[in-house]
Amino acid sequence: MTVTRDLPGLDLPPATLERLGAFEALARRWTGKINLVAPSTVPDLWTRHIADSAQLWPLAPSAAATWADLGSGGGFPGLVIAILSGDTGPKLTLIESDGRKCAFLRTAARELGLSVTILDQRVESAPSQAAQIVSARALAPLVTLLPLVARHLAPGGTALLPKGRDWAAEIDAAHAGGWTFDAEPIPSTTDPTARVLRLQNIAHG
C-alpha cells in the first residue's frame, strides 16, 4: 500500500506514511461501529484527525522521554505520535475511560506494532504520570483541562493542547480561574482559525 497524502511540515519516509495509512483504514472500519470520531468528519479523516494530530510532533521537546495523552479516544493524537516517533521516541501512555475505544487502541497498537501503554481509566483518577509532555485533543475547555494536565505533567514539562477558534477566550477564562502559565499559541497547519497551545510553568493560585 502506498500512501500519497502528505503532512504539512513533516518529511516522512514511505514506511511511516504507509503505517499512517493503515491506521486510517483501521479507524475508518471501527468508526462505523463505535464512533471513534464524529461521523461528519469521517470523509476528511486524514486532515481533520491524522494531520491535525501529527502537527504536535515537531512542536514537542526533542529530549522528552515520556508523553501522556489524555482522553485518547480513537488514538488522536496518541497513536499518531507513536507512529511518527517510531522506536526512538518518548514512552507513550494513552489514557482513555471508554472501554470500547480502549479495545480499538489496543487492537491498533498490536496490528501496527506500536509500543504504547494504554490505561482504561478516567484521566482524573489514573495514576499521575509525571510526563515530560502532556497532550489532550478535543477533551475539555482549557479552564477545565488544566487541572488534569497539571496532574499528569512533570515539573518543567510541556503541554501541547490543540484548540479551535475560541482559543484566546479559553486562555482568558483560564487566567480568570486562577491559572498561570507561559503560553505560546502556534498557528494550526490544518485550520487557520485554530492554534496549538504550547504551555509551560502551569500553576494555580
Has 198 been labeled as part of a binding site?
no
Has 24 been labeled as part of a binding site?
no
Has 124 been labeled as part of a binding site?
yes
Contact 48, 41 (CB under 8 A): yes
Has 157 been labeled as part of a binding site?
no
Has 104 been labeled as part of a binding site?
no
Q: Which residues are annotated as a binding site?
A: 71, 76, 123-124, 137
Q: Which residues are annotated as a binding site for S-adenosyl-L-methionine?
A: 71, 76, 123-124, 137
